[in-house]
Chain A
Amino acid sequence: MAERVVISAAQIDPAALRAGLADPAAGAYCGFEGWVRDHNEGHAVLRLEYEVYAPLAVREGRRILDEAADRYPMLNAQCVHREGLLEIGECAVWVGVVAAHRDAAFEACRYIIDAVKVRLPIWKKEHYASGDSGWVNCARCAAHA
C-alpha cells in the first residue's frame, strides 16, 4: 500500500486516499480533516504557512499509527499533512481509519489526530488580515482544533 504517513506540498485529495483504504473486511471508515479557518482567537486569518521537518515527522507519524493499531482493533490507517502556504478552506491534514466496527474507527482516528497535533515537528504560522503574522505555539493552540 501507499506510504502510511506523507508530508505533501501539493493539495490533499481525500477521495483518492479514502479509496486507497478500501478493504472487504472493513465495515467502518472514519475520516478527519483539518481545514484552514478564516479566524483564530478573534483574529481574521488570511492564510497559513506550515513548516515541517519531514524526516522526523514521518517517523513519529508512523509511530503514532502503530500505537493506534496496538490500542484499537482497526484494520488500517493513513495520515497526510501539508507543508507550505495554504489558503482558507484548504485541507491541512487528513487522517483516515478503517475498521470492522465503528468504535475502533472513531477512536483510532481521534487518537491519531490528537497525537499528530502535539507530537509531529510541524509549525504553523498565521498570516492575519492586519498584516501581522505569528507562529502558533502550544500554549495558545492546545485547547483548540
Chain B
Amino acid sequence: MNESHPVVFTVLLFSILREKVGRAAVDVAVPAPATGSALLDALEAAHPAVAPYRPVIRLAVNQTYVPESVRLTEGDEVALITPVSGG
C-alpha cells in the first residue's frame, strides 16, 4: 500500500440509507492514508442521497463505533449507522 494510491472499502448500509442508495453495500475509494471523514466525503460525492443523513450518521469500524477522525486500514469492515430505533 502506497500513500498515493487509493484504498477501496466496502461500506455497509442499513435501513433508510440502504433504501436511498438502493444497495446494502457500496465500494468507496479513498486516497491513502484513509480516514473516516475522507471516506464519508467520497461516499457523499458518489451517492448524493447520503448527504442529508451525514449529520446523524455514526461510523462503525469492525462493529465498533468510532469517531470520524479514525484512521482506516485496508480490510476494515465499515458501516454507516443512522439513529437506531430498536426496542
B is a partner of A: no
